[in-house]
Amino acid sequence: MERLLAVSSSPHIHAPQNTRVIMAWVLAALAPAGLAGVYFFGYRAAAVMAVCVASCKISEYVWQKLAKQTITVGDLSAAVTGLLLAYNLPPSIPFWMAAVGSVFAIVVVKQFFGGIGCNIVNPALAGRAFMMSSWPVPMTSWTLDGLSSATPLAMIKGGSIENLPRIYDLFIGNIGGCIGETSAAALLIGFAILLYKGIISWHIPVVYIGTVAALTAALGRPAGPLYEVIAGGLFLGAIFMATDYTTSPMTKKGQVIFALGCGLLTSLIRVFGGYPEGVSYSILIMNLTVPLIDKFARPRIFGEVKKHG
């Protein structure tokens, strides 16, 4: 009998790990940042995470049930999307907004395009962009210890560099910001877990972060390159969202090109844009270029003759 290959949606990797195992390790790598968020922002951060994860899982189940599709909630991808969206939200966000953003991320961005492996942009980032355009004030209201505060990047944008938090506070997460982005230390622990388990490679995070450091230094940002890479959502975006299998290039060459583009756009938005942070929009824009990057960066087959003209 002829042997047939069973082909499913991406991620396609040569490894003894299926989608559920991969997503479980991603959740484990995200855990330190979540714990840091709860420690610094309190129980409300945990509640926002719970709302986002539950909304993503329920909306995926209901959609697939109504569409008579295979139920894939058990693969944990919806839970990862929900947690990543929560990490990109301020802890003070109303719960109903978090739920609406979660439904948008799963139903419109993921399921409308065919489910896991078929979406063209990162669902969590698209959900955040949708929420930013719909409710800009709640999405940019930051608190720490119950007090309103500006993010470090907003301070730099406004020229208040004399009041910037210490590097130490940035590193551990004792600053205002989104739930999962403030603790560089926790995110680096997650990065180490993903590298150790072979879930991601270093190419996108390192090149992305390095590009932002180099360009912001070259463009004369006053706080310095170390501050630029630790402040804001760069670590969260570079480690956990730019590396999404479905919306990032397949080859190492393509990943480097993709990361360079993300770093360039992030730096330009931070320096010249009206918004102090550019990570989310930079990754979303570069997601749209992935098919072109994959076509350009695909390895040439041995013996293939390059076409001219």
Where is pLDDT greater, at 47 or 150? 47
Model pTM greater than 0.85? yes
Residue 200 has a pLDDT of 95
Instruction: Return the residue matching tokens 């090149």.
Output: 207
Confidence band (pLDDT; 50, 70, 90) for 298?
confident
Residue 276 has a pLDDT of 82
For residues 279, 180, 159, 164, the Cα torsion angle rounded to the nearest 10 degrees is -140
pLDDT in tens, 173-227: 988 889 999 999 999 999 999 999 999 999 999 999 999 999 999 988 888 899 8
pLDDT in tens, 101-144: 999 999 999 998 888 888 999 999 999 999 999 999 999 887 65
Across the chain, mean pLDDT equals: 88
* Portion of the chain with pLDDT greater than 70, in percent: 89
- Fold for 19-297, please state it: Ammonium transporter fold (1.10.3430)
At position 163, the amino acid (one-letter code) is N
Rounded-to-integer distance, Cα 242 and Cα 260, Å:
11
